[in-house]
Amino acid sequence: MTFDEDSGSAAVFVVNRDLRDSTTVRIDVRDLGVGRVAEAVTLHDDDPCARNTREQPERVGLTPNGSAGIEDGILTVVLPSVSWSAISLQR
């Protein structure tokens, strides 16, 4: 996690390395003073061996992750299996 005190924004980067199951991550962000998710994106494909090729240059890419939210100072996000996510938080 990174935090910019001047702007009051934070960035959270999380990985799910499980080959089969999604997981829900909860992070206490109360001390940061952030209150909303500005953006949440996830890099994932149902096929963990998928890759971008010349024939399919956009097979795997970032997609919005609508599961991210903050309630009572707790950031909650669902991570699909074999995924990387970035969440931008703001005051």
Where are the chain's structural domains?
2-47+61-90
pLDDT at position 69: 98
Record the tokens describing residue 87, joined without a space. Answer: 């969440």
Rounded CA gap, 42 and 72, in Å? 23
Residue environment code for 37-56, b if the CB has 16+ CB neighbours within 10 A, otherwise e = beebbbbbbeeeeeeeeeee
Check whether domain 2-47+61-90 has CATH 2.60.40.1180, yes or no: yes
Q: What is the pLDDT of residues 2-38, one digit of tens each?
A: 999 999 999 999 999 999 999 999 999 999 999 999 9
